[in-house]
Every structure is written in C-alpha cells, then in structure tokens.
C-alpha cells in the first residue's frame, strides 16, 4: 500500500522560480490575499529553489564535500542519512543511555552562563573606564585649544556643551 503525500492547495509554479512570480507587483500583500481567496487560507508556496549556503573550502574538506547529514542537500542521500540517524543514533534506548552526559553538559552550560554573566559586567566596567579616559582626553584637548582635527567624540562633546538640543546629550550618549 503506497501512501501519497497530500499538499495544501497551491498556485501553479515555474521551474526554479516556484510560485514567486505570483507575488510580483506593486502590492505583494494584496497578491497574497488574492491567492488566499483562490486557494484557501492555508496554501503551499514554493519561493524559488536556490542554494543559499556559500561554497566554502573548509566545509568541503571537513564535511567531505557535503556528504554528511548536516550539510547534505535534500535528496536520496539525505533521506537515507536521516533514517540511519533516526533508527540507530536517536533510538530511545541509546538516547536514554546518554542521559547522564546530557545532565552533566547541561550543568556545565548553566555554569558557563553564570560565569559569563559576571564577566560581562567586568568587561563593561573596563570598556566604560577606557571610554571615560577618551572623553577626558578630548575635553582636555578642547580646553587647550589643540585644533588638530575633530573626530566624532569632539563633535559630540561640542554638541553636548554649546547647542540647545531638545534632548541634551550626556556622557553615556557620547560613549554609546
């Protein structure tokens, strides 16, 4: 007994382009409404068939010319690899046997996130101190009158001090 796959209703399509030509025009959202009225509220659109993954030499070398499960193009090989993964590598018995590893790795992940949260604050404080020094140097340079050429910080400090802006700039705006 052969089971056939039933797809949602869809408009006719062109090779390679798929159904994308139905959306071309001034108002694609109105075109979608027209398609929905014709084919029903839930429809199947094929919007072109192109490879979006760039050709990388490293990927070809490491993954043996895209012959692994993760990078294989959809086709007979990919279907076969998916069956092997499902039946052999992802069986209930095998997944349960690695439960302790998943638990251990989950704990490590949580711990690394906890550590990273603390380091983010340290990194922010360090960068904030550096930016404060840069602003102080620019303010001192402005007081001395060294007109060596203005950069973005000089312009922002000038706007902060001498221009009546609707929303005045503060040092955090300059640092950002």
pLDDT digits (tens, 9 = 90+) for 64-81: 777 777 777 778 888 888
Neighbours of 21 (CB within 10 A): 14
1 compared with 137, residue with greater pLDDT = 137
Nearest Cα residue to 9 out of 48, 49, 40, 47: 40
Residue pointed to by tokens 């084919």:
39
- Judged by average pLDDT, the poorest of 50-59, 78-87, 120-129, 130-139 is 50-59
- pLDDT value of residue 4: 64
| CA 10 to chain CA centroid, nearest Å | 30
Q: Where are the chain's structural domains?
A: 7-50, 55-97, 98-175
From CA 108, how far away is CA 135, in angstroms rounded? Answer: 40
Burial readout 131-147 (b: 16 or more C-beta within 10 A, e: otherwise): beeebeebbebbeeeee
38 compared with 19, residue with greater pLDDT = 38
pLDDT (tens digit, 9 = 90+) per residue, 102-131?
899 889 988 887 877 777 777 788 888 888
Nearest Cα residue to 10 out of 40, 49, 53, 48: 40
From CA 116, how far away is CA 112, in angstroms rounded? Answer: 6
The helix/strand/coil state of 5 is: coil
Mean pLDDT of 74-102: 82
């Amino acid at each position: 007994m052969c089971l056939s796959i039933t797809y949602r209703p869809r408009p006719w399509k062109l090779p390679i382009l798929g159904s994308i030509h139905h959306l071309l025009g001034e108002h694609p959202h109105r075109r979608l409404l027209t398609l929905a009225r014709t084919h029903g509220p839930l429809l199947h659109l094929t919007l072109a068939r192109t490879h979006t993954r760039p050709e990388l030499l490293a990927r070809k070398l490491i993954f043996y010319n895209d012959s692994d499960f993760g990078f294989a193009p959809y086709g007979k090989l990919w279907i076969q690899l998916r069956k092997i993964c499902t039946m052999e590598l992802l069986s209930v018995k095998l997944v349960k046997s690695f439960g302790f590893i998943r638990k251990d790795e989950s704990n490590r992940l949580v711990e690394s996130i906890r550590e990273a949260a603390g380091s983010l604050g340290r990194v922010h404080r360090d960068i904030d101190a550096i930016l404060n020094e840069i602003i102080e140097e620019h303010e001192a340079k402005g007081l001395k009158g060294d007109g060596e050429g203005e950069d973005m910080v000089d312009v922002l400090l000038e706007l902060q001090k001498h221009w009546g802006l609707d929303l005045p700039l503060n040092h955090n705006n300059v640092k950002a």
